[in-house]
Structure 1
Amino acid sequence: MSIIDTDLQSKIDLWFQYDKNPETLIQVQDLVKENNVDVLNDLFKKRIKFGTAGLRSDMQPGWSKMNTLTVLQASQGLAEYYLSINQKEEQPAVVIGHDHRFHSREFAEFTCKSFLLKGFKVYYLNYGDDIFVHTPLVPFAINYFKAAVGVMITASHNPGKDNGYKVYHNNGCQIIPPVDAGISTKILENLKPIENIWDSLENVLALVGKSNILDVYEDITQAYIHKLKQKLIFNELPKVSSLNQEPWFVYTPMHGVGKSIFTKIMKEIGLKENTDYIIPEKQSMPDPSFPTVSFPNPEEKGALNLAIEAAESHNKIKLIVATDPDADRFSLAYYSLKSKSYKQLTGDEIGHLFAYYMLKNGKYEGGMITSTVSSGLLKRLCAVENRPFKEVLTGFKWIGNAAKASNEPVVFGYEEAIGYMFPELLYDKDGISATVVFLQLYEFFDKDLDKVLNEVYEKYGHFKQNNSYYVGRPDQQAHVFKITREWLEENYTGSETKFGDFTMQCYRDLTNGIQYNADGELIECDLPTGSGDMITYWFNLGKNNEIKVTTRGSGTEPKLKVYIECMSLVDGQTATLVAEKMWNTLQEILIQPEETGVYIRSL
């Protein structure tokens, strides 16, 4: 029988010393009584790591999980970090919001108490019963109030067992290095719960003064809607109520928080629920158990099925738009006149449409930004149309910060994982503003998305993706990258390296700072290095076709992500077939599921 070793026992003892939450205390006490060493090791041996994505894990007791104690420790350290860099005499401020997930309100209130007890003014977005906000309101409010920092309690589109702690810097962007390291250090220096932190929020306010926390939900909601209308609404949307017609689109918030803010916006511009649009009842209200979807992510296969059924039952409504549970991501499906069926677009295809709309509308003057794992079409479009373009590392933290720091105006940024940003409004992805802009786009292009996509590809090239992921533990993912680097060391000989039936020109390993150019010469990396495992490969398929492949580990989920894009100047079918063939070749040579243990999740 396994026994609790000295190191594990010391970590458990410290937990009993610090934790005052009856629920998690009892859970740990029961595990100790049962001598459940395997589970205790999982919960206590390692500490949950704070990074640029903040914190994210399943909700259980223990140092490695999301719970009241780890959240308050993170909040204490975060407050200390921003006190250390805020040398102004006036009182620093924090914006705090939360979604509808299990324990989100609890985690947000402990975050409030931590900052209040550290001397901050708190702009609280959820000061009231049953108020849930979508994530983009936090960065919007940071800029609106000129706050020092912001925290959103959400796990975005993760399963219902998870929760997260997302941090925004004083510029309204997600944090990037070295800020994350500085915060992490302060967290580790402030692990002991501060005095009064386990008191109720009311008692803490009685101690520090009620004037130090402000209920800003209504003010920020109205400010957000006003700016969205002012900066992003240029075309009037059809109102079928005056035409005695069926609703013209379906919106699903995917059991998330999107409905409240979305219906407010629609009312402002004259569109009525159940008249101009419908929301599927089973997915309309916030529900942290996500009962109708296996994974509450609108880009997952089958996630929009219920919304499509609702569209079909209303005389085949042609457009379905969706946001993920915290409403910072956007996806869609539409009835294709060409295929006579509903088609869900990929994140890149939606990005192509947005970029083309930015160009054709005539109201948006400025450049565009994408991440390195997103489609190359925007780079081609901007080159052809003489617009500024920038490619950055994976993640909206890089896209947002690049747009904020740009000397030239930026009108659009996106990442293939259905994230879309309009800097006129805020410097982060936002599913609600993306939905509103797309509704205008749909009308602008006369509701014919098949036609406009074909027009885009005929003009700039047929860019087709085969993006997906393997599920795997960190050690299994590390095994894949070990095999990959060994293969490259043994086989890469320059720009004519054979890779199955393909010819590899060059590659870039951002983890180790290695990059070769198209001639097979070692050069300096064109993107920052050391940001986790990510390797990109370029292949030569003749003058009319190009292919780019990236493999990387996810920073927030147990996924090994694979991005494959083929550009063909010939036709889309060629690009699609080549991308599919590359997936199989990559799996055989580098991924090796039977050897590494990673697998493709079946739906």
Structure 2
Amino acid sequence: MESGSSSTGDSGLDRAVGLWLQYDQNPKTVSMVQALVKEGAVEALKKCFSSRMEFGTAGLRAPMGPGISCMNDLTIIQTTQGFCHYLEERFENLKERGVVIGYDARAHPPSGGGSKRFASLAAAVFISRGVPVHLFADIVPTPFVPFTVSHLGLCAGIMVTASHNPKQDNGYKVYWENGAQIVSPHDKCIAKAIEENLEPWPKSWDTEEALKSPLLKDPYQDIHTQYFKTIQNHCHNRDINKSSEVKIVHTSVHGVGHTFVQSAFKAFDLPAPYAVEEQKDPDPEFPTVKYPNPEEGEGVLTLSFALAEKEGATVVLANDPDADRLAIAEKQESGRWRLFSGNELGALLGWWMFRCWKQQNSDAAAVKNLYMLSSTVSSKILRAIAVKEGFHFEETLTGFKWMGNRARDLLDQGKSVLFAFEEAIGYMCCPSVLDKDGVSAAAIAGEMISYLATKSTSLSQQLTAVYEEYGYHITKNSYFICHDQNVIRSLFERIRNYNDQKDSYPTECGRFSISAVRDLTTGHDSNQPDNKAVLPTSRSSHMITFSFSNGGVATIRTSGTEPKIKYYTELCAAPGNSDVTQLKKELDDLVEAIIENFLEPEKNKLQPKPQ
């Protein structure tokens, strides 16, 4: 540790703190660490220094603050040095092609950290190695980064954002040259390169010089123009849009979305949505909401509903703070507001995208070249539509990194990828962005709403029509909180060795008969001839899916980013079975049986989802 500082009595911790104080040039985080040392705050120091943030396929996400477990100037430099080194090894033409860096509006005054600052430091690292950097001069939605990678043919992209996480968090999201998020083994190779490049390179701190460098370009105007020009290809009812009288409210929840959604509506010739004044400008404090996540529902949308009532609007659109996801609520005849689930919106947007495609394509054979994707924990409604309409449906692992990479594979084979979604309100409606995109999804939803209004049909009515035609798909998802890895391990191992029989999975769950089991931790899938799963497996997380004889599907999995055991259940009814009350009761009974039979022994060690 530096001279004059006290020892904590833990030599490993002292070394980590000493190295930090040697490398860090941010006076705020330096003084924070020095104050903790002076106070002898060993536990606080351990929290900051005992383990480095883990770089995974989602990049990084952690609180802003001092130390190797947090997002700050030094960890951004170290991460970028590792990433840059890995790219130098992988691409001979990195210095010709370059990278793009975007950022949202997050900031953390106590540590001097923030998305813009982190993006500037990342740019300085690349520029110090002679790599051209396309650094956005202002905040952008996350989808702009993968769009730029593809549009400009770059080697990689970085987006500094923590999306819908609490205000103290930030993140570092990485895209590969194919325009999709990285998947393994890139994450492990980058993590290794970070560990090998911890000492700041001579010019890594020099943002001033980097921002004057001829290697630095601002792609903002060009990408803004090209992005909106590209999404216009998905506008199919311009005449209806121009005469639309539908009133829509939009909130960006203190994030980046406002100006971009306004531009997207303009690109579609739709009337501008009413903006929630208190939430339209970026504010890293997120003052009007407890959590800036539209999935949380009413608490986040209270101001939107008030504005809708005032203006006579019947639909509310909401983006999360980095505008890569979209939530929609609609006022019902009862006067209550209905917030659609991610699966319900997947059904509506999937129906709409296929209807528009069919309008444009008179060649019946073309449907054989068409694909839609969804993640394995999302509704199977696209599969039902695909079976009836003749296009292809594929399921991927959870997360848009898998859908984006699979979409790229299919596009490279000359296939058309029309739509992809995941139940966590993520939608890819435009293959120019191989990730979820709440901006294009908002405009496409606006067009769908305007079209339905000409038929005097609401979103709720159209959703019923989709289910009547393709079969009701009723879902029920929730989670338990668990901080104890031993409890989690014991729960899943008991399912894998059911009734104390090794490598034996349950064949029934209460009164429900299990027809197939897929375990993507071990690679077992009883639906396959050799019992081997087709989807990639990972021993670092738990995920088991049960198919039931009654058309039910249930997945139990651990979360990659939170201390949660999540369950996703769906009852898929055949077309014609429209007894929704009975179907909901059947699903409720199935969920109860799953909790009782598979989770009960550990249940007293699990916290239920807060109400």
Q: Shared topology, TM-score over 0.5?
A: yes
Q: What does residue 438 of structure 2 align with?
A: 431
After superposition, what is the alpha-carbon deviation per residue over 1:235-272, rounded to whole angstroms, capped at 9, x for unaligned?
127679x89x7x61111111110001112233344455
Q: What does residue 582 of structure 2 align with?
A: 574
Q: Map 1:368-387; keep pairs closer than 5 Å.
A: 368-387=372-391
Deviation at 1:479, TM superposition (A): 1.8
Cα pair 2:100 2:133 within 8 Å, conserved: yes
Q: Closer, same or farther in 2 for the Cα pair 1:79/1:472, shift >3 Å? A: same
Aligned residue for 1:467, secondary structure, equals: strand
Cα pair 1:151 1:166 within 8 Å, conserved: yes
Q: What does residue 19 of structure 1 align with?
A: 24
After superposition, what is the alpha-carbon deviation per residue over 1:540-598, rounded to whole angstroms, capped at 9, x for unaligned?
34xxx311111222223333322111112333323322332333333334335975643
Cα pair 1:536 1:548 within 8 Å, conserved: no
Q: Closer, same or farther in 2 for the Cα pair 1:53/1:89, shift >3 Å? A: closer
State which of 485, 501, 511 in structure 1 corresponds to 2:511.
501
Aligned AA for 1:203? E
Deviation at 1:18, TM superposition (A): 1.1
User: What is the alpha-carbon distance in structure 2 between the residues aligned to residue 591 and residue 281 of structure 1?
Assistant: 45
Q: What does residue 118 of structure 1 align with?
A: 129
Aligned AA for 1:177? S
User: What is the alpha-carbon distance in structure 2 between the residues aligned to residue 71 and residue 332 of structure 1?
Assistant: 35
User: What is the alpha-carbon distance in structure 2 between the residues aligned to residue 464 and residue 533 of structure 1?
Assistant: 26
Deviation at 1:25, TM superposition (A): 0.9
Aligned residue for 1:299, secondary structure, equals: helix
Q: Closer, same or farther in 2 for the Cα pair 1:90/1:3, shift >3 Å? A: closer
Deviation at 1:340, TM superposition (A): 4.3
State which of 492, 500, 504 in structure 2 corresponds to 1:484.
492
Q: Closer, same or farther in 2 for the Cα pair 1:285/1:471, shift >3 Å? A: farther
* Structure ranking higher in helix proportion: 2
Aligned residue for 2:171, secondary structure, equals: strand
After superposition, what is the alpha-carbon deviation per residue over 1:507-553, rounded to whole angstroms, capped at 9, x for unaligned?
222112223239xx870112111164232332434xxx311111222
Q: What does residue 13 of structure 2 align with?
A: 8
Cα pair 1:502 1:539 within 8 Å, conserved: no
Calculate the TM-score normalised by the size of structure 1.
0.91
Q: What does residue 164 of structure 1 align with?
A: 171
Q: What does residue 53 of structure 2 align with?
A: 48
After superposition, what is the alpha-carbon deviation per residue over 1:77-122, rounded to whole angstroms, capped at 9, x for unaligned?
1111111111238524010000000111111111010111121101
Aligned residue for 1:410, secondary structure, equals: strand
**Which one is further off, 500-509 or 178-187?**
500-509
Aligned residue for 1:20, secondary structure, equals: coil
Q: Map 1:349-368; keep pairs closer than 5 Å.
A: 349-361=344-356, 362=358, 363=360, 366-368=370-372
Aligned residue for 1:110, secondary structure, equals: helix
Q: Closer, same or farther in 2 for the Cα pair 1:237/1:154, shift >3 Å? A: farther
State which of 256, 275, 283 in structure 1 corresponds to 2:279.
283
Aligned residue for 1:440, secondary structure, equals: helix
Q: Closer, same or farther in 2 for the Cα pair 1:505/1:319, shift >3 Å? A: same
After superposition, what is the alpha-carbon deviation per residue over 1:56-90, rounded to whole angstroms, capped at 9, x for unaligned?
01112111111111111010111111111112385
After superposition, what is the alpha-carbon deviation per residue over 1:152-174, rounded to whole angstroms, capped at 9, x for unaligned?
00001111111000000001100
Q: What does residue 472 of structure 1 align with?
A: 482
Unaligned runs of 5+ in 2: 1-6, 108-113, 362-366
Cα pair 2:249 2:308 within 8 Å, conserved: yes
Aligned residue for 1:359, secondary structure, equals: helix
Aligned AA for 1:428? D
Aligned AA for 2:155? A
User: What is the alpha-carbon distance in structure 2 between the residues aligned to residue 496 and residue 211 of structure 1?
Assistant: 63
Q: Closer, same or farther in 2 for the Cα pair 1:448/1:197, shift >3 Å? A: same
Q: What does residue 397 of structure 2 align with?
A: 393
Q: What does residue 4 of structure 2 align with?
A: none
Aligned AA for 2:262? T
Q: What does residue 537 of structure 2 align with?
A: 529
Unaligned runs of 5+ in 1: none
After superposition, what is the alpha-carbon deviation per residue over 1:469-505, rounded to whole angstroms, capped at 9, x for unaligned?
23333x34x5224223224313388797332333333
Cα pair 1:58 1:65 within 8 Å, conserved: yes
- 1:553 equivalent to 2:558? Answer yes
**Which one is further off, 361-370 or 297-306?**
361-370
Q: What does residue 342 of structure 1 align with?
A: 337
Q: Map 1:49-448; keep pairs closer than 5 Å.
A: 49-88=54-93, 91-102=96-107, 103-125=114-136, 127=137, 131-199=138-206, 201-205=207-211, 210-229=213-232, 231-236=233-238, 248-271=247-270, 273=272, 277-302=273-298, 303-315=300-312, 317-337=313-333, 339-361=334-356, 362=358, 363=360, 366-406=370-410, 407=413, 408-445=415-452, 446=455, 447-448=457-458
User: What is the alpha-carbon distance in structure 2 between the residues aligned to residue 29 and residue 399 of structure 1?
Assistant: 45
Cα pair 1:266 1:272 within 8 Å, conserved: yes
**Which one is further off, 75-84 or 441-450?**
441-450
Aligned residue for 1:170, secondary structure, equals: coil
- 1:463 equivalent to 2:473? Answer yes
Q: Closer, same or farther in 2 for the Cα pair 1:602/1:26, shift >3 Å? A: same
User: What is the alpha-carbon distance in structure 2 between the residues aligned to residue 45 and residue 156 of structure 1?
Assistant: 26
User: What is the alpha-carbon distance in structure 2 between the residues aligned to residue 29 and residue 597 of structure 1?
Assistant: 39
Aligned AA for 2:493? R
User: What is the alpha-carbon distance in structure 2 between the residues aligned to residue 440 and residue 311 of structure 1?
Assistant: 18
Cα pair 1:124 1:215 within 8 Å, conserved: yes
Aligned AA for 1:500? G
Q: Closer, same or farther in 2 for the Cα pair 1:354/1:220, shift >3 Å? A: same
User: What is the alpha-carbon distance in structure 2 between the residues aligned to residue 27 and residue 6 of structure 1?
Assistant: 20
Cα pair 1:568 1:574 within 8 Å, conserved: no
User: What is the alpha-carbon distance in structure 2 between the residues aligned to residue 263 and residue 4 of structure 1?
Assistant: 57
After superposition, what is the alpha-carbon deviation per residue over 1:177-205, rounded to whole angstroms, capped at 9, x for unaligned?
11111211211111110002223x22245
Aligned residue for 1:549, secondary structure, equals: strand
Deviation at 1:330, TM superposition (A): 0.6
User: What is the alpha-carbon distance in structure 2 between the residues aligned to residue 586 and residue 440 of structure 1?
Assistant: 40
User: What is the alpha-carbon distance in structure 2 between the residues aligned to residue 169 and residue 496 of structure 1?
Assistant: 40
Q: What does residue 111 of structure 2 align with?
A: none
Q: Closer, same or farther in 2 for the Cα pair 1:205/1:321, shift >3 Å? A: closer
Aligned AA for 2:208? E
User: What is the alpha-carbon distance in structure 1 between the residues aligned to residue 33 and residue 445 of structure 2?
Assistant: 48
The number of aligned residues is 578
User: What is the alpha-carbon distance in structure 1 between the residues aligned to residue 505 and residue 214 of structure 2?
Assistant: 65
**Which one is further off, 12-21 or 94-103?**
12-21
User: What is the alpha-carbon distance in structure 2 between the residues aligned to residue 484 and residue 212 of structure 1?
Assistant: 51
User: What is the alpha-carbon distance in structure 2 between the residues aligned to residue 402 and residue 157 of structure 1?
Assistant: 25
User: What is the alpha-carbon distance in structure 2 between the residues aligned to residue 124 and residue 149 of structure 1?
Assistant: 12
Give the aligned CA root-mean-square deviation in angstroms: 2.4
Deviation at 1:10, TM superposition (A): 1.3
Q: Closer, same or farther in 2 for the Cα pair 1:239/1:175, shift >3 Å? A: closer
User: What is the alpha-carbon distance in structure 2 between the residues aligned to residue 384 and residue 271 of structure 1?
Assistant: 32
Deviation at 1:384, TM superposition (A): 1.6
After superposition, what is the alpha-carbon deviation per residue over 1:25-70, rounded to whole angstroms, capped at 9, x for unaligned?
1111111122222221111111111110000011121111111111
User: What is the alpha-carbon distance in structure 2 between the residues aligned to residue 5 and residue 574 of structure 1?
Assistant: 62
After superposition, what is the alpha-carbon deviation per residue over 1:339-374, rounded to whole angstroms, capped at 9, x for unaligned?
542211100000001111122222376210111111
Deviation at 1:11, TM superposition (A): 1.2
